[in-house]
Amino acid sequence: MYEQIGDGGFGTVWKAKSRTDKKMYAIKKILIGTTSTVMEIRNEIELQRKLESKFVVQLYNVFKDSSAYYLQLELAEGGDLFDLITSVKRPFSEDTARFYAAEILCALEYIHGKDIIFRDLKPENILLTKSGHIKIADFGSAMETHSKVIATSYSGSQEYKPPEVVLGKPYNKNVDSWSLGLIIYIMLTKYHPFYEKNPFYANNTFRISENIIKAKIIYDRKYFTMDAEDLLKHLLDRNPVTRYNISQTKNHKWFIAENKTNWPKVENQEVWEKVTGYQLSFIPYINKKVVLGSMDTLCCALFYSWILLRRFHTKNESGNTNGGTNGVVFVTSIASSVTQTNLQLKNKRKTI
């Protein structure tokens, strides 16, 4: 093993080179008897073994000793979507957000087709390859189901839970649609719609849950075109029965109007210009510390608190209706306006 690239309550993640094929892999070490039970670990392994897709981090092998399981995983060298969002000054343009949303949809379509609900979709679990394409990672919260409605138990991240889960009601695969809607919202605005404006309450899970259930979602024309707003209203529909599923989302005009999305080419992960007609806006900077996964709720709350403070204490950015720059420049360091607290946050969150 070369270097540790992630850590958390579960254990650690290491970058390693195989003696057999000389390729680099990520080794996820899950400690037995920590936050994950043996049953949960085995569930994660069994589900991921069933998946083989360009849009999912591949599980190659599993080892075990008396204290831990070791998962040999595909190494994603481009960081994750959270890093990408926080490393640019402005929100994504709609073309950029649409590109990543389309690939996430392809991943969910494949996962749901295997009768699996991911249940923890968030920017931290969307990894990037060195060429800029997405791969879904961390199936620790995923669940297999052969029915349209399943039990009320749920282990995903609080701030991405849909209302029916917060209320303890039965749910179906459309919980992932809700989370996708939040990710698109965040890409287009750089903030979470259910975080409190008052930083004092930013990490208050009760307030977040309350907002998920009943807070009005703001669609500022500065960030959202009418088509984007319409799509998000369908994805962030508090009624799980009428909320868009994956198929409905793929066929929404935000994706297909004016041939904005060529689905066969997206599914083949072809280069950006063949998908949208535009040149790829950026290739992810490959950091020595590769990100593999999610940060804890407090870190996430601190990040969104900073975003809110920045929005209140700086002048408004230019008011493009497409939500930001048309060519997002991906830089190797955080913008100078980011505080030292946020820099510490980014270093702290290298967990799975």
Query: Alpha-carbon distance 331 to 173, whole Å?
Result: 36
Could you tell me if 203 and 209 are in contact, meaning their C-beta atoms sit under 8 angstroms apart?
no
User: Residues within the annotated binding site for ATP?
Assistant: 29
Query: Alpha-carbon distance 274 to 10, whole Å?
Result: 40
Where is 210: in which H helix or E strand? helix 205-214
User: Residues within the annotated binding site?
Assistant: 29
CA angle 321, 311, 324 (to 5 degrees): 25
The pair of three-digit structure tokens given for residue 326, joined into one six-digit string: 């048309």
Burial of 87: CB neighbours in 10 Å, binned 0-12, 13-18, 19+: buried
Query: Alpha-carbon distance 47 to 254, whole Å?
Result: 32
Query: Alpha-carbon distance 233 to 99, whole Å?
Result: 19
Instruction: Choose among 74, 24, 78: nearest CA to 290.
Output: 78
- Select which of 120, 138, 176, 237 is catalytic: 120
Q: Is 120 a catalytic residue?
A: yes
Query: Which residue numbers are catalytic?
Result: 120
